Amino acid sequence: MKTLFMFLVLSMAALMLSPARVLAQSCTTQYGGTTTCVSTNLTINKQVKNPATGNFVENLGSSDPTFSVNGEAHFRLIIKNNSNQSFSTVTVKDIFPKELTFEAGPGTFDKGTNTLTFPLDNLNAGESRSVEILATVGANKINKDRSISCVINTAQASAQNQSDQDTAQLCIQTNVLGATTLPIAGFNDFALLLPFAGLGLIGTMFLIKRG
């Protein structure tokens, strides 16, 4: 019995002291949905810049700062090699929804599929690279029947037998008090002016009444 007890103690100690194998996980999260994670040696993270704070975030919902028609949307792609060997070439694809138009970034853009494609050469083991992309909100492609339309941008990365994808959501405000055009700012700061516009109207009415 004593021998068996000592064997169990030593076995548990060996397991605790042995180095654990760490696998990178790629997690894709739809805004407001569930998160799915899979083990991979290559990951891509798609982010969108919050137009109010200037910070890159995973997603922007309808309650977050929204974008206006003809406004600019900035994205960031972070591609990382989590393996112990280099990838000679990583192919990256950024697939835009119909509401967004590619403006600036690396690689070549296919208007037919609304897809930007570019390579990353010699991504070394443990290396991470960041790429920024600029798009604009197309005025003729927005559903004007809705006051706010939320769209999803998808990015993919592949190398050898490894692949990964991630998404970023942003929302476009198309209708403010019946108007279908907004200032060409990145977000709905137009709403901040409405209280002051109301005060100006009241003041004008008061002056007219006094006159």
* Residues ≥6 apart with Cβ < 8 Å to 70: 136, 137, 139, 184
Which pair of tokens denotes residue 131? 């790429």
What is the per-residue pLDDT for 189? 41
Looking at the DSSP assignment, which residues form a beta bridge with residue 121? Answer: 89
CATH number for the domain whose boundaries are 42-186 = 2.60.40.10
pTM more than 0.85: no
Q: Phi then psi for 112, rounded to 5 degrees?
A: -65, -40
Residues of the chain with pLDDT under 50: 9, 13-23, 177-210
Would you kindly state where each structural domain of the chain is located, as residue ranges?
42-186
Residue 69 confidence (pLDDT) = 87
Which pairs from 22-28 meet CB under 8 Å and 24+ separation?
A: 23/82, 24/80, 24/82, 26/164, 26/166, 28/165, 28/166, 28/167
Q: Supply 66's token pair.
A: 């929204």
- Residue 37: its pLDDT value, please? 58
